[in-house]
Structure 1
């Protein structure tokens, strides 16, 4: 008998207003040579009649569910010794999985097996097979035997350890008492133990097949981070994610962020870049991302409105069949820009009639009578082009911002007039998201004034009365410009408060040599330059340097007991040297990842202060 049909996960669609609340860009776009994701398909069963038309699409991988409780319903050890098994149903199904491997291999493809579920004898006598096993070693034993047996009859692409185990829908563990409807975080630790045991038991038999972390609901980078915190690095060959996001009507290039300066949201298609950022932050670049479910429902906004998530009853669900095909092509073009996305499995081959929610029945490439939808031709074209060519995917270019006044080193004693202008930019082939906000801040702190609803090319002016309250001396004024997708650009200017600063200041400049600057050997970096001023003015004071790392920082959470993190630029190293001679700052950087550096001069009467732009670079 084929695996039982499964309910699809619910999506919490985020309101568009969150976009204007997000600040700071998450620079997660792919880099390096493009390598398209391998096209794959989800299917609803393993019978030859189900597999044959799916394989005819040319899909390279076929994703199939495996229920432990069906293969070993009575006791451990029933599988794979099915010839002597007391349960003939389990014996027949075990044989069907082996026949499926052979049929799929004969078509030039490989299966992806999703192993989940627990029989009553292993999960505390529960009839609910999605209640996890009480002993992870029992699951690991079966998992290893399944890997060994199926791998012995043919080639398998990968084995997923469970499915959407980060949420209550597929992992029926303890509910979070502080957030009803959500899985308690203690259950994530239980899964970590299951994954670790399963990888250890099955890895010796996996051969070239990958053993991957079970797919998360959406792109749950928070869950992936928790797995690293549990010491799971080295216990998986890849991370699976799902982006077949329920009532979704947006294209793959649209995204939102998690709060001010946060990463791309879990339920945005491009949230897989946030997952990758977590992996890199844990110095774990080798495992790839397997998008084992991606899709859009072709309900065309009806016959009823969306029935799930925060948009329930408020928004139509799905897209038209023509839009579904176009979004499939665009999604593969997006992923082709990110070579760490190894596989993308469309959910699903055929429309269904089994689900109560109409939206769930229309994800297929074909209808229930196997009649082709436009998405079928689009999928075949992606297969023929080995995953498709890289295409435009999201506006990640920040605006350009300029401080009109004050000029560098300006002196003042009372109010200060601050004027800035900005224009949004966009990646090639992508329409700019549009400028939304210009804000002012001091010494790298939080903004003290924001102009909202600004448009491209707008100039905004603030008569900053409270500037009179600043302490005497030099300060750094920074202006940020943000677009509708949370991409942020910043520029700074030194200002000088006090009577000693009011005299006419002599302009200065920090000159940087051409070529690679900063230059790094692994994490040892040097940054060179020199302060210049008119020839008749003697230099004095100090030139300073600031090294910033794009780091994940824990911040106060609004939910008791829940950890919350944001990624932002954080100053890790500083230094200084006499302004009278060229400088060559050398620094051993604390961490790998994305860095930026700048030099600045506070000024020394009558010389005005000055600063360079941040220069961005990465180290391993």
Structure 2
């Protein structure tokens, strides 16, 4: 299984203490790795950018290039600390970067060309210290049309010799056809669209789940989740690297947790999910 979380330094306050961040996160990362889980670390605006004087709605290409220089260097230093441990499976660069500007709240979006620059510089920086770790795109939230078009534009804008290892997407509202938690249609559409962006590259579904329904019956959510996973295993076992449920606990923003706010499993969802 996989575990995924943001490697946050700034958290809105502009903190840049890489030692403090390592001391905070490394015991958890080691514990996950020791338990046999594959760790995805998200490097995003909370790694560097928040509290650094940038006003996200007012960003332009020049400001993104300025931020990228520091961001890529932070990524290099973070990767250098973990390269000899083998604890980190993948670095995910940014999060939901294709979110429409007019509805961005938790995400910090940018134009595909600006993202391509940030992605390429970060890949180059990480590769100076770690040649083996996976480096994947931020999770695209725009679905099989707008999202895959954004991903395609990003890849087209990268230097010819630089590529991420995979394209990631966030497949909310998709799953088994006819399920009440699949209003946007089949998960097949996302997998088919994103798998065509880079030939031969697997799709990483780094977020999916049930949002804004905290009191729905756990068995209903379990039916959705088991159907989603079963569909991927049956049809796309070679095309999809992982699907990471959001979130672990009910206290994580608006996601339907595997556990409640008291860290107690929400049965039968918890057991059915782990057994899927």
TM-score greater than 0.5 by the shorter chain: yes
Q: In structure 2, how many angstroms separate the alpha carbons of the residues matched to 1:73 and 1:147?
A: 20
Q: Distance in 2 between matches of 1:70 and 1:349?
A: 20
Which residue number in structure 1 is paired with residue 169 of structure 2? 241
Change in 2 beyond 3 A, CA 1:63/1:105: same
1:120, 1:321 → 2: CA distance? 36
Contact 2:137/2:167 (<8 A) preserved = yes
1:328 aligns with 2:228: no
Q: Is the 8 Å Cα contact of residues 71 and 94 (structure 1) preserved in structure 2? A: no
2:263 aligned with 1:370, yes or no? Answer: yes
1:163-203 C-alpha deviation (Å, 9 max, x unpaired): 00111321255xxxxxxxxxxxxx22111100011111112
Aligned residue among 288, 304, 327 for 2:202: 288
- Deviation (angstroms), 1:277: 5.0
Paired residue secondary structure (2:189): helix
Secondary structure in 1 matching 2:176: coil
- The aligned residue for residue 345 of structure 1 is 244
Q: For residues 181-237 of structure 1, what are the alpha-carbon distances to aligned partners after superposition, in whole Å with 9 as ceiling and x for unaligned?
A: xxxxxx221111000111111124334421001111143111112113213664200
**Are the structure 2 counterparts of residues 159 and 71 from structure 1 closer, same or farther at C-alpha, using a change threshold of 3 Å?**
farther
Partner of 1:229: 156
**Is the CA contact 1:68–1:142 (under 8 Å) kept in the aligned structure 2?**
no
Q: Deviations over 1:323-355 (max 9, x none)?
A: 211111111111111111001111111112x75
Structure 1 residues 70 and 129: CA distance shift in structure 2, 3 A = farther
Per the TM alignment, residue 242 of structure 1 is displaced from its structure 2 partner at its CA by 0.5
Q: Which one of the candidate residues 192, 195, 201 is aligned to 2:119?
A: 195
In the TM superposition, residue 72 of structure 1 has moved relative to its aligned partner by: 9.8
Alignment of 1:238-317 (within 5 A): 238-245=166-173, 251-253=175-177, 268-279=186-197, 284-297=198-211, 299=213
Q: Distance in 2 between matches of 1:195 and 1:114?
A: 13
Gaps of 5+ in 2: none
How far did 1:74 drift?
5.8
Return the structure number with greater helix share. 2
Q: In 2 relative to 1, CA 296–70 (structure 1 residues): closer, same or farther, beyond 3 Å?
A: closer
Q: TM-score by structure 1 length?
A: 0.38
CA RMSD of aligned residues (A): 3.1
User: Offset of 1:134 from its aligned partner?
Assistant: 4.0
Query: After superposition, where does 1:460-499 map in structure 2 within 5 Å?
Result: none
Unaligned runs of 5+ in 1: 1-59, 83-90, 174-186, 256-264, 303-318, 383-620
1:35-61 CA-partner distances (Å, limit 9, x unpaired): xxxxxxxxxxxxxxxxxxxxxxxxx22
Match of 1:64 in 2: 5
Which structure has the greater CA radius of gyration? 1
Q: How does 1:14-53 map to 2 (within 5 A)?
A: none
- In 2, the alpha carbon distance for the partners of 1:101 and 1:130 equals 35
Q: Tell me the distance in 1 between the aligned counterparts of 2:6 and 2:185.
A: 23
| Pair 107,129 (structure 1): closer, same or farther in 2 beyond 3 Å | farther
Q: Which residue of 2 aligns with 1:380?
A: 274
* Structure 1 residue 138, shift from structure 2 partner: 2.0
Give the secondary structure class of the aligned counterpart of 2:27.
helix
**1:586-605 correspondence runs (5 A):** none
Shift of 1:102: 1.3
TM-score (norm 2): 0.79
Using a 3 Å threshold, how does the CA distance of structure 1 residues 70 and 323 change in structure 2: closer, same or farther? closer
**Residue equivalent to 1:262:** none
Aligned residue in 2 for 1:573: none
How many residues align? The count is: 255
Cα shift at 1:69: 2.7
